[in-house]
Structure 1
Amino acid sequence: MSEAMMVSPPQLRLLGQFRLELGTETVELCRNGQRLLAFMGLRGRVSRTVLAGTLWPEVTEEHARGSLRTTLWKLPRGEPPLIVCCGDSLLVTPALRVDVHVLTRTALDVVEDCGPPSYTRPPLELLTGEDLLPGWDEEWVLVERERLRQLRLHALDTLAESLIRQGRTALGMEAAWAGVRAEPLRESAHRAIVSAHLAEGNISEAVRHYEAFRRLLHQELGVAPSSRFARMLPERLSERTAPRNRDLARRDCLRAWFR
């Protein structure tokens, strides 16, 4: 192993395509090696039984454990080893840097408001990056991918609101639009966009966006925006839109009744 590989901590990238980096080199792994390291990288510590049963659910326990032993043996050798045995459990070496954990810590800091009172550089790039292992369709990946998606959306909502409160409306709107791109029907992201327009005094922009979202929501789901959203608009405008929302709701009820 080269000196660079010994000095630099190993890096496991799971956002986007799987990549294991040891020093300056990218290490190629077989498919089972990727699956094993991805699962371990996400969980940290797993029993052999759970790991074998999750990665090889269609075979007998004996066969699954055999596949696990073979896959572990094929992992790159190094010091410290990537996977450490501890009784019937396997542990990821603390030296391994996993990008998912960086994303999780950053998003939780934003959501919990544990960061500095003002972001010198909002973590938009990280919060709007690639999904977890796109193209992988195993159940444990799908569950973790959805968890990260929801965490990112909540972090973008919180970040947008925080930036708008700080008077950094352009950045706040960027965070809000990132949430809309990720989930077009997410009302909280649209509320942040309207809030940014109102903070800048652009009432016509705020009303235009609200109306566009109202039409989209009715077209896709047959419902109206929440009363909380409508109350964000100036009083006379919200009064003007409220009867229209009630009429739409009444019409939908009548249609459902006479079907």
Structure 2
Amino acid sequence: MRSVSPPQLRLLGQFRLELGTGTVELCRNGQRLLAFLGLRGRASRTVLAGTLWPEVTEEHARGSLRTTLWKLPRGEPPLIGCCGDALLVTPALRVDVHVLARTALDLVEDRGPSFRARPPLELLTGEDLLPGWDEDWVAVERERLRQLRLHALDTLAEALIRQGRTALAMEAAWAGVRAEPLRESAHRAIVSVHLAEGNLSEAVRHYDAFRRLLNEELGVAPSPRFARMLPERLPERTAPRGRDRLLRDCLRGRFR
């Protein structure tokens, strides 16, 4: 007997619902409803109506919710079920955001697989949550995932340094810098990689570029913790001017 693939909801990048072997097209309201419940798991009808249709009366919003539910594709089990006044997605629905969150939390909490064979760099550096959607509830979830990814990248870089996999550690650290150019922990990871490889001049050059960027943008200096990583400072002239400008441009995020 041929097995049927579980339904999948992709919210990282463009919205996509996959049922069986094909992609199902939904109206905009259907996408919003399924995305909200896919992220939250369950919500009351009142919360759903007020969040998804905030510009109309409660009666109108509840009517729009009923219409949207009626237009969703039928299936067994149904994509959305009810429990009293609450609506909830079927447990069979696989949501890519939850895979990302579990992977990132496993890294941060040092649990689950060690990722020694294949670090999840592609997952941690993938697309944002529903780019182009400007609803407040999407923005909140997008920022939550961004912060979770950044913490996971920091942790992954540190773990890869301890394993001696400095090239992959550098990839993880630079991914964090590209996502947030002023985030010190990602820059500390880059300097740690240089030091692990014995490249003191590279470490000093990166620290100096970040120090100047931080001063220009925020008027502050790197933390004492960062400064203590470099007990022996080298002259800044060790870096050719053109290369130094290129590094500073990268730190500003111009090549993101």
TM-score of the superposed pair, with normalisation by structure 1:
0.88
* Alignment counterpart, residue 236 of structure 1, candidates 232, 236, 245: 232
Distance in 2, matches of 1:24 and 1:210, equals: 51
For the Cα contact (< 8 Å) 1:118–1:166, is it kept in 2?
no
Matches within 5 A, 1:32-43: 32-43=29-40
The equivalent of 1:155 in structure 2 is 152
Distance in 1, matches of 2:124 and 2:75, equals: 32
Q: Does 1:73 align with 2:74?
A: no
The equivalent of 2:9 in structure 1 is 12
Structure whose residues are more often helix by fraction? 1
The equivalent of 1:51 in structure 2 is 48
The equivalent of 1:102 in structure 2 is 99
Given the superposition, is the C-alpha separation of residues 97 and 198 from structure 1 closer, same or farther in structure 2, using an over 3 Å criterion? same
Distance in 2, matches of 1:74 and 1:95, equals: 20
Higher Rg: 1
Distance in 2, matches of 1:89 and 1:118, equals: 38
Q: Does 1:169 align with 2:166?
A: yes
The equivalent of 2:59 in structure 1 is 62
- The runs of 4+ residues in structure 1 deviating greater than 4 Å are none
Gaps of 5+ in 1: 242-259
Q: Does 1:21 align with 2:18?
A: yes
Q: Give the 3-state SS of the residue equivalent to 2:81 in structure 1.
A: strand
TM-score of the superposed pair, with normalisation by structure 2:
0.89
Distance in 2, matches of 1:236 and 1:142, equals: 43
Matches within 5 A, 1:189-200: 189-200=186-197
Distance in 1, matches of 2:132 and 2:210, equals: 31
Distance in 1, matches of 2:208 and 2:8, equals: 46
The equivalent of 1:223 in structure 2 is 220
Deviations 1:196-250 (A, max 9, x none): 10011110110011011111111111111111101001x2329x89xxxxxxxxx
Distance in 1, matches of 2:187 and 2:147, equals: 16
The equivalent of 2:136 in structure 1 is 139
* Offset of residue 117 of structure 1: 4.0
Gaps of 5+ in 2: 237-256
Given the superposition, is the C-alpha separation of residues 135 and 172 from structure 1 closer, same or farther in structure 2, using an over 3 Å criterion? same
Q: Which amino acid aligns with 1:75?
A: L
* Offset of residue 132 of structure 1: 0.3
* Offset of residue 115 of structure 1: 3.0
Q: Which amino acid aligns with 2:107?
A: V
Given the superposition, is the C-alpha separation of residues 105 and 118 from structure 1 closer, same or farther in structure 2, using an over 3 Å criterion? closer
Given the superposition, is the C-alpha separation of residues 129 and 118 from structure 1 closer, same or farther in structure 2, using an over 3 Å criterion? closer
* Offset of residue 58 of structure 1: 1.0
* Alignment counterpart, residue 82 of structure 1, candidates 79, 91, 98: 79
Given the superposition, is the C-alpha separation of residues 8 and 116 from structure 1 closer, same or farther in structure 2, using an over 3 Å criterion? closer
Matches within 5 A, 1:192-211: 192-211=189-208
Q: Which amino acid aligns with 2:11?
A: L
* Offset of residue 116 of structure 1: 3.4
Distance in 2, matches of 1:148 and 1:23, equals: 28
Number of aligned residue pairs: give it.
236
Distance in 2, matches of 1:102 and 1:236, equals: 43
* Offset of residue 118 of structure 1: 5.3
Distance in 1, matches of 2:111 and 2:56, equals: 46
Distance in 2, matches of 1:8 and 1:116, equals: 25
